[in-house]
A = this chain, B = another copy of it.
């Protein structure tokens, strides 16, 4: 996949101000909208995840995009494409998982079609009323870089699943790493605390493609240096720093916010600050212009 090439092509053809963030901010309706897909053997393998967990994760992945914008997740549509041998139990458990994950978010539609493998695409709508909406292009020098939660747990969970593929899924879900991978939690509260209290422009992304990737994306879109101290990144002691930075799929949030916000909110960890300079990520004092790992693209081409 030449995803970045493709995105450049799409941007140049559409020439739209909306393309660039995970959510598009549609001011005329006071909403943000996003769409995200999960594809069998690319994003998940049936041997590692139950249909209930897949429904749960589908909803959380899409809610997470809305949380990254600062909007309040409200509605979802889900499109399922399924192989002809799919039984009713798969659909039933998928939707039970989706319903369990959705909380106050309402699943309002979608469609169902045939396919050779399982292909899931969901679109999410968030309410922007009473919220300040983020953009990855709005990080500014002297802003603090803050994160939610622990980083690297999902990638470690996937690693456990791959190495011990006979691990029972029922036992496995009690393991915090496996749970982080199969049933992540979108950071609804963290997002609300920031978006409801902030007055200045700010950048926020989720860590779906890894914490380091999010930092690089923000640095490029905002034309700044994202300077972080790895000692400050919350992570389990058993997870190595490569995994913490590049693991992906934790669906935590990382934000660059003005320091004056921080006295108004709680439940965050400062991991660094934004500096003037050409777009890059400074990790423990060392400048990186590009991400430095492909370790965790387990299923990707």
Fill in one digit per residue for A190-232: 1 if any B CB lies within 8 Å of its CB, else 0.
0000000000000000000000000000000000000000000
Q: Would you list which residues of chain A between 92 and 149 have a CB under 8 Å from chain B?
A: 92, 95-96, 99, 106-117, 119, 121-123, 125, 127
Question: What CA separation (Å) do A287 and B23 show in the bound complex?
Answer: 49
- The total of chain A residues at the interface (CB under 8 A) is 66
Question: What CA separation (Å) do A84 and B42 show in the bound complex?
Answer: 11
Chain multiplicity (copies): 2
Interface assignment of A88: CB less than 8 Å from any CB of chain B: yes
Question: Are A26 and B108 in contact, with the CB atoms below 8 A?
Answer: yes
Q: Give min CB distance, A209 to chain B, whole Å.
A: 11
Interface window among A1-9, A163-171, A250-258, A273-281: A1-9
Question: Are A96 and B13 in contact, with the CB atoms below 8 A?
Answer: yes
Interface assignment of A35: CB less than 8 Å from any CB of chain B: yes
Known: A35-B78, A35-B110. 5 other contacts (CB 8 A): A7-B112, A16-B108, A24-B109, A35-B109, A39-B81
Q: List 28 A-B contacts (CB under 8 A).
A: A3-B112, A6-B80, A6-B88, A6-B91, A6-B112, A9-B88, A14-B95, A14-B99, A16-B108, A18-B106, A18-B108, A19-B108, A21-B109, A26-B74, A26-B108, A28-B74, A28-B127, A29-B29, A33-B77, A35-B110, A35-B111, A35-B123, A36-B111, A37-B111, A79-B121, A84-B301, A116-B117, A123-B123
